[in-house]
Structure 1
């Protein structure tokens, strides 16, 4: 059935004639061990950051070596030549963003040689993502996408031998349980990483517990998400004194006895000591040593020549009774040997956040660093999903051209997930490069979406004009709506259910005619653009004086809805000017929520859920910590920097409201607060069940020569007993306890930074006594905590004047277009409800936040009647409604293979159940889905794949591990069903699919239009 797999086989067969041998990759290709000895698996490797101190291009070509001596193309060149010389040698490669670039530059003869190395297991791909992604600031959707991009490149060029079996997260600064769950679902057998809290590591070393089975989803997916995990002894470098990268300064193996500096015996003794020092902390007969580090092996010959000698002389000692055996190996081969021990391993079901490298060095600042870039990455993910969906829905014999346009944004997003990209821990010029790549991806996707719209919109033959994205509406800037009298909006809903959204557009004028897709008038409200917004330097050249606000409801799933806007005539009764803050307490409310503000402080004082009469005191403040200004000479002098959060006090300074004013209208009510160098808007839309808080911070004042870390703190009366909850990469919820770690007795040395956790989409506290949960949802990743009972605080922006000496080499001091400190704007969403009802609330809002409807717009010269006659004004991509607990995670066109007919089209479809087991009485039940739900094409067949869409699920056979029972594991209360291949029945129907809580099912579908 599967055309994609058939196409791959054809491609692979073309190159097979030149290959000297059949594939012997995988565990069968491992070098043999000696059963009665301590086997040391030497793993030659390089860690190639996809941007950090230099841009991706600079790293690849070896440019700007004055910053860092690194050229990835030379590393791969050199390693390949060394591997070709000796069948026993091994090397692992990780970052496909670099390898794919190198591969595209090679001729077919070189490609055949590399395929031979891969087929024989001599060159092994590990991890296989486009990059080694961060685990704190990344959303699970983007994690899956970037791995899919890399894994499918490997599949298309190396077939099964290119499939990674091991995850390799050696450099990220803390590790997420959700990441482990995703790795298990990608089909990996193991995970190895380098960084964990120093107290945790010391305990694990003392207890020989450096390897264990990580339970990635103990409450929902069970064993499906379990993953064998190992902590690397030396981070990801070699033992001290044994780095043979060119210029390292470590002594080479000098084995000519005629030399005065002959050192073989000394070096062997030193290495055997390093072996014993490591082995005593591991439970098995084997250990693994990482022989390489950042951007090493530019001259692979120096590494391999010394490694050859080391292996020879250490193993020669076996004749004198030594029990140590060295061999070239890979993490996969090491994993295979560990699995064959058949021992019972300890389990772990929490995560590895926060990470501290020493008593005063908590790497929790990067949860917020570069908040503008973090917001842009999240927004770009939304656009990418829309681009992929429209590419698939609108595809009509143009898949090769349109899908290649999608690749620009896919690759830019893949790069942006790197652990020194979205994390905010790169140099400024590199951050600028990441943003430029995303911007180029937007432009490329505009072409893709316009090609789709040319199929979806016309009723007759006339093509619609090209539409554009307006990406700066958050600062009230959009050339089309500011300068033209007649504008058409096409609003696309990327969700699989009907969606509502509020639209805010920068305009000039106060009177408009706004029409729905049916031609009915849409109520609107016009409010002035604030003076605070007008000060933002990036608005230079824009003249929008007002914002046009209206609501769209019932936007069809995977559907388009047309809105017509033109300047009108008549009264301006919908114009709502700013009013002075009243002299009495002010309450804004709709039918569902009320928020009351104190007339003296101008700050919020109370929130109520009117549906259930649940009222709590609520006080919100903008505050800031002063970043510690140390010189990093000792741990106690560690400065707050791009990685590290270290406030110089446990109590932040409150920023006082200087002035406040209100907006009262039928559609939206607002309270505006102005601070010395920040502002806020509390916003309540008609019929909304949540309050929107828009914060604008910057330029952060550094006139006092002090860096600052700005937080938004929400104080309530809830008694949460030190317990709070954060999401893991936008998916499962993790319980947090103040000053507590589940797996060791914490000695808390930084009471604020040591209690910060990554908040990718939500954080909440609960109090059973009034049965209340207060939730704050975010529009980007941020650091957050509940430092004191009843509080939630989120760090929204930071500007620092000292580097924290972890390599980036410059302070985190971002500036804007005017050369002053960067102004950043973002949003929080506040929800108050019962504990029972809250899960549904925050799941649905969280889903909407990262999959919001996208607006494409154009100015027109025709009149409305002409447009509505010529073009469809409402389009839906589904003919069957999805269950409320199911989400279309992916709809992505597969570029046609050059050897297959263009009429045979395929796409990746992922469906997910986005509730946890037991989270909601109704929504946590299994869901049944009809895969033939799409309205624009007909599915003719489907194959279920692993999560990365690179392997048929029926072919997956992961290693099994015995785990020590914990005694508190819940039983999964349903029988899991796994569909392998879905075939049409006699009526042309596919079987239905069952999705259980937190389950993601991935399919490659065949379809025709």
Structure 2
């Protein structure tokens, strides 16, 4: 029951309004967790005592359990396929619990809730009680606590918040306050995003620890004792709202050299029988003291931390704990001989508490930790793009999940069990949560594991389809079967290809109206399209391009596409009727000459008549024009035989053999289609590279739909394909990228804000993650590129922006995955073909965010199309909005999901930074009772970002930065309990008690 997450609320909020109390009516007579709370000594209270006049060495027993990497999630849990890697998570948890019971001093931390949830469900009630006791005593502590340890470069913030919420909710409901992690633990991700730190701060974490840091950055920080710092993770949120203490671990997440005692290790055990010839206690103690002393020299306090564990360790926990017990005993015994070293079992939170007690000031950081390199020629910037098809599928799945969540709320209880059977959103939520793992959407897993992630997403979407069908049946009042066409991007939809009459339901998951282009595969030559009011909609039939026919292969047989634009209401749907005409005009003709210009009332696009390539872009409203040349290139991937380094390009590493990419073609063959709905120029650069330059009639952005693959490897060269936009914008070696889809960061070529960079890879060392958008600008012009998935990119030359689209490599990059990134499939045995879109907008820098933020949001949460065959039932409700009115442009409805029977979780966010927009960077007030059209909001209470604490109960450690005065976060009174004010970049999370109107 969800309200187990909150203890004794009525006692704490004696003066709450009736509206607030209503939400908990009848729930809190006996709060869950009240009994255990009195006896629990978890968290900071459970920490072992330290010695103030000594060097305290905090030993942290842990295991790092990837939620899929070399093996699938299931294989890792059960210990299957040990021929790939010996790892079985269920045995780790079995063994650790057994060993914790044998010595109350022992500690263990666990991270990945996806694995722990499985294990917990299989335990007896007696074992569950035993584990609860260990948690209540702080002997077993959860850190991070998300469903997985998410990637930081290629994840979107909305999906990260969801997966953290899922994991933390389970821990909260199962263990109460003692299950709540105090520390974020990102020991393995390959670079660290500022937005992740901001989210962790807003989720109530006191600190973050990670292991991977650029080798030059680490060297400088070790010298200056700045391996522990205060990360100011927002340039907009008032400090300390997004301030997060951040610690860099000394050995990644591994134990010190020579002190690994797992069954997978080869270090000798502690042999402490003095009667035996191989007695080694003195040597072990001596080596340990030397390591501790060396480590202490590069940290700031008399406390240091050592991670005692690694990948999938502690399957036989007795090996570790028996030796750790001895290590602690024998090292501490030296104190009688004058040693000033004190060793203890500890956890990251206990270590953090001691750093906080030190009451020091800490170096302040305001940028991020990208890109990451572990050596001069080893930049981990390839995974920003690796497996681009999986990256796109994950992004589409996130959009589908949000629509599923919303319709579960709007459709009422009948959504879960209705005319079309039993549907659920949980399967999809778990699949999406697993996909956020740092070896999932990152593209750094083995091929069979990538296939498994995609399979899980597909299974989740099938379950959601039932729920969506049930919900739409309830909302429309009609129970017609709904068809889902998931391959429209390659013109495949069996219903539209064969039916003479069908309807299209367009559900818009955004809280503002949306205009969206629809392109449906058809075999007729003329159609009539009518909107929900029966009005005729301008539509055109165009031939399916040869590139699309090639990429879909035998999956579909439509010869034409029906193109029209739809307009959908906020958080709602509209319906369009489509009928085949017997006497209509023929499809639009294609022409093989390229027009010098295509334009609508907003944009003008020109082409070079000699090359058929883009040459300029104009914004007709603002009277701006820039030179814009766009083409495709490929970098020759290093095979490891380079003079400077043996490092090849691979799933993780981007290492081109040359700083100059190969141009694929200096000219393009073209085909042009011009209609009243859209104009497009179809370009062919090579048999494996094509593009459509497309401009819709009412669009303020230019679409570049690229198709790349199969990448040829018959020349025995791996290829990393980019598109490059060369403009007349004077960029001064700077460009800008988003961080996980939210705040924007400035990037500068060959520069790092916190240390003097010695650049050794002029291309890979200037690549950054682009999650949803990037832009270049000067005082007059800003060109923004919105992407449809996470990709890597850079600005290598002034006025230029390049984005990597696809990678096919012939060598493993020796980072553990042990196979080259050479994707094929049953449909594409000769190499994967990938299709995607870039949306370009040209604006004044002062107003560009007003365009690109909503556009990026619209690409992330695109309308969901469902189809019904035949004519419409006259009783059908053809249009619906779940809101009383659209939200203001600055406000995004981030989350609307069923929480329990009578309550929903709502997140509203202000999506502009404080400096971005004169119009939209202002506070906005929303009335929650006047928000929904079909829901009565009976009660409301505010939670933290991850929905596992009351907002007014969330307290965090205060930290003092070295470089400025300690800021004070002003508390702002709301106009009323129902009216909430959002300031720039704020996300506010509410639990609403609701009933259907």
Residue by residue over 1:230-268, the C-alpha shift from the partner in whole angstroms, topping out at 9 and shown as x without a partner, is 000000000000000014110101000011100000000
Residue 528 (structure 1) aligned to one of 525, 533, 543: 543
**Is the 8 Å Cα contact of residues 403 and 895 (structure 1) preserved in structure 2?**
no
Q: Counterpart of 1:289 in 2: which secondary structure?
A: strand
1:977 and 2:972 aligned:
yes
Residue by residue over 1:933-963, the C-alpha shift from the partner in whole angstroms, topping out at 9 and shown as x without a partner, is 0111111111100101111111111010111
**Is the 8 Å Cα contact of residues 475 and 539 (structure 1) preserved in structure 2?**
no
**Is the 8 Å Cα contact of residues 422 and 466 (structure 2) preserved in structure 1?**
no
Residue 699 (structure 1) aligned to one of 701, 710, 715: 710
1:581 and 2:598 aligned:
no
Distance 2:2 2:62 in 1: 36
Residue 881 (structure 1) aligned to one of 864, 873, 886: 886
Residue 479 (structure 2) aligned to one of 461, 464, 489: 464
1:89 and 2:106 aligned:
yes
Q: TM-score, normalised by structure 1?
A: 0.94
Q: Which moves more between the two structures, 909-918 or 398-407?
A: 398-407
Distance 2:132 2:860 in 1: 39
Residue 808 (structure 2) aligned to one of 799, 806, 822: 799
Residue 960 (structure 2) aligned to one of 940, 943, 962: 962
Distance 1:617 1:85 in 2: 72
Cα distance, 1:451 vs structure 2 = 1.7
1:564 and 2:586 aligned:
no
Distance 2:989 2:76 in 1: 34
Residue 169 (structure 2) aligned to one of 117, 142, 152: 152
Q: Counterpart of 2:350 in 1: which secondary structure?
A: helix
Q: Which moves more between the two structures, 83-92 or 743-752?
A: 83-92
Distance 1:293 1:362 in 2: 23
Map 1:600-999 → 2, pairs under 5 A: 600-630=610-640, 636-656=645-665, 657-676=667-686, 677-768=688-779, 771-816=780-825, 817-860=827-870, 863-864=871-872, 867=873, 869-896=874-901, 905-932=902-929, 933-965=931-963, 976-977=971-972, 990-999=977-986
Q: Which moves more between the two structures, 777-786 or 17-26?
A: 17-26
Distance 1:15 1:894 in 2: 17
Matching residue of 2:608:
598
Matching residue of 1:901:
none
Residue by residue over 1:571-607, the C-alpha shift from the partner in whole angstroms, topping out at 9 and shown as x without a partner, is 225x21211114xx61000011011111221111111
Q: Which moves more between the two structures, 17-26 or 245-254?
A: 17-26
**Is the 8 Å Cα contact of residues 27 and 333 (structure 1) preserved in structure 2?**
yes
Residue by residue over 1:782-802, the C-alpha shift from the partner in whole angstroms, topping out at 9 and shown as x without a partner, is 001100001000000010001
Matching residue of 1:510:
525
Matching residue of 1:355:
372
Residue 409 (structure 1) aligned to one of 419, 428, 431: 428
Cα distance, 1:884 vs structure 2 = 1.5
Change (3 A) 1:590 1:464: same
Q: Which moves more between the two structures, 991-1000 or 465-474?
A: 465-474
Distance 2:451 2:73 in 1: 12
Distance 2:553 2:99 in 1: 54
Distance 2:127 2:87 in 1: 23
Cα distance, 1:965 vs structure 2 = 2.1
Distance 1:11 1:259 in 2: 63
Distance 1:818 1:95 in 2: 35
Residue by residue over 1:831-888, the C-alpha shift from the partner in whole angstroms, topping out at 9 and shown as x without a partner, is 111111211111111111111111111213xx34xx2x22100011011332220010
Matching residue of 2:351:
334
Residue by residue over 1:188-240, the C-alpha shift from the partner in whole angstroms, topping out at 9 and shown as x without a partner, is 00000000100000000111110000001133343100000000000000000
Residue by residue over 1:287-311, the C-alpha shift from the partner in whole angstroms, topping out at 9 and shown as x without a partner, is 0100000000000000000000000
1:100 and 2:87 aligned:
no
**Is the 8 Å Cα contact of residues 477 and 539 (structure 1) preserved in structure 2?**
no
Q: Counterpart of 1:908 in 2: which secondary structure?
A: strand
Cα distance, 1:468 vs structure 2 = 3.0
Cα distance, 1:6 vs structure 2 = 6.5
Q: Which moves more between the two structures, 946-955 or 392-401?
A: 392-401
Map 1:269-348 → 2, pairs under 5 A: 269-348=286-365
Cα distance, 1:490 vs structure 2 = 1.1
**Is the 8 Å Cα contact of residues 405 and 896 (structure 2) preserved in structure 1?**
yes
Cα distance, 1:22 vs structure 2 = 2.1
Residue 560 (structure 2) aligned to one of 546, 550, 563: 546
Residue by residue over 1:712-739, the C-alpha shift from the partner in whole angstroms, topping out at 9 and shown as x without a partner, is 0000011110011000010000000100
Map 1:998-1009 → 2, pairs under 5 A: 998-1009=985-996
Distance 1:659 1:345 in 2: 59
Residue by residue over 1:330-382, the C-alpha shift from the partner in whole angstroms, topping out at 9 and shown as x without a partner, is 00111111101111111100000000100001000000000000000011100
**Is the 8 Å Cα contact of residues 7 and 33 (structure 2) preserved in structure 1?**
no
Cα distance, 1:413 vs structure 2 = 0.4
Distance 2:668 2:950 in 1: 61
Q: Counterpart of 2:832 in 1: which secondary structure?
A: coil
**Is the 8 Å Cα contact of residues 52 and 430 (structure 1) preserved in structure 2?**
yes
Distance 1:219 1:937 in 2: 33
Q: Counterpart of 2:606 in 1: which secondary structure?
A: strand
Q: Counterpart of 2:424 in 1: which secondary structure?
A: helix
Q: Counterpart of 1:960 in 2: which secondary structure?
A: coil
**Is the 8 Å Cα contact of residues 639 and 804 (structure 1) preserved in structure 2?**
yes
Cα distance, 1:966 vs structure 2 = 5.1
Matching residue of 1:902:
none
Aligned residues: 973
Q: Which moves more between the two structures, 505-514 or 732-741?
A: 505-514
Cα distance, 1:822 vs structure 2 = 0.2
Matching residue of 1:437:
456
Distance 2:847 2:110 in 1: 47
Q: Which moves more between the two structures, 12-21 or 708-717?
A: 12-21
**Is the 8 Å Cα contact of residues 407 and 415 (structure 2) preserved in structure 1?**
no
Q: Which runs of 5+ in 2 are unaligned?
A: 10-26
Distance 1:552 1:349 in 2: 42
Q: Counterpart of 1:514 in 2: which secondary structure?
A: strand
Distance 1:653 1:626 in 2: 8
Cα distance, 1:399 vs structure 2 = 6.1
Distance 2:917 2:645 in 1: 46
Distance 1:355 1:362 in 2: 6
Distance 1:691 1:389 in 2: 30
Change (3 A) 1:870 1:772: same
**Is the 8 Å Cα contact of residues 488 and 564 (structure 1) preserved in structure 2?**
yes
Residue by residue over 1:482-504, the C-alpha shift from the partner in whole angstroms, topping out at 9 and shown as x without a partner, is 12222221111111111111111
Matching residue of 2:185:
168
Cα distance, 1:396 vs structure 2 = 3.0
Distance 2:181 2:72 in 1: 26
Distance 2:676 2:183 in 1: 57
Q: TM-score, normalised by structure 2?
A: 0.95
Residue 58 (structure 1) aligned to one of 67, 75, 89: 75
Distance 1:756 1:890 in 2: 32
Distance 1:15 1:395 in 2: 27
Cα distance, 1:35 vs structure 2 = 1.6
Map 1:366-377 → 2, pairs under 5 A: 366-377=383-394
Cα distance, 1:991 vs structure 2 = 2.6
